[in-house]
Amino acid sequence: MRETLLLTSRSPDETERIGFELGRRLGPGDLVALIGDLGVGKTCLARGIARGLEVDRRYFSSPSFIILNLYPGRCPLYHVDLYRIDDPEEIEELGILEMAEKGVCVIEWAEKILHLLPSERIEVRMEWVDELTRRIELTALGEGPRRVLEGLRREGFGD
């Protein structure tokens, strides 16, 4: 089952708010694959997801040099940044995906390992429209992710 929700963000604050609303609806075992160019707002969206999971804002940062950060919140948040990873097999060796089954997993630069990800996930493709505006396409793959998108749609997000 596949369902898509199209959103437009006109500022970093709006991108973070979209992430917050998404994060409020996520729970253990959910995986969010963030896909998009450098500077498009993936970390901003991830920061919003962290807020929605009740992660203390003081602790959240982009893990670009660490690959994985684990944050306590309503449920654990595994924030993965694959920017510096060239060999997708490194992720398999680290066992990050297995660890992340215990909480919510948000992966930046997920396009590098889409073939390794579970079939049930939310893919978020972010594109530049102009300097401040972003097109955000959320695709639910599976029943659980579809319910998450339905919740956003009920709240007036999208299409």
Residue 34's beta-bridge partner residues? 108, 124
Q: What are phi and psi of 56, to 5 degrees?
A: -60, 120
Q: With contact defined as beta carbons under 8 Å apart, do 156 and 5 qualify?
A: no
pLDDT digits (tens, 9 = 90+) for 149-159: 999 999 888 76
| Mean pLDDT, the chain, whole residue set | 90
For residue range 41-95, what is the model confidence (pLDDT) as tens digits? 999 999 999 999 999 877 776 655 678 888 999 999 999 988 888 787 777 777 7
CATH architecture assignment, domain 2-154: 3-Layer(aba) Sandwich (3.40)
**158 in Cβ contact with 152 (< 8 Å):** yes
Given pLDDT bands bounded at 50, 70 and 90, which one contains residue 15? very high
Q: Give Dmax over CA atoms of the chain in angstroms.
A: 41
Contacts by residues 83-89 (CB-CB < 8 Å, ≥ 24 positions apart): 83/38, 83/108, 83/109, 85/109, 85/112, 88/112, 88/113, 88/115, 88/116
Sequence letter at residue 125: R
pLDDT, tens digit, 9 for 90 and up, residues 17-30? 999 999 999 999 99
Residue bearing tokens 């956003």? 152
Q: Which residues of 57-70 are buried (b: 16+ CB within 10 A; e: fewer)?
A: eeebebbeeebbbe
Looking at residue 66, its pLDDT comes to 72
Cβ atoms within 10 A of the Cβ of 51, count? 20
At residue 121, does pLDDT exceed 70? yes
Q: Of the given ranges (5-14, 83-92, 129-138), which has the lowest mean pLDDT?
A: 83-92
Reported as a pLDDT band with limits 50, 70 and 90, residue 146 is: very high
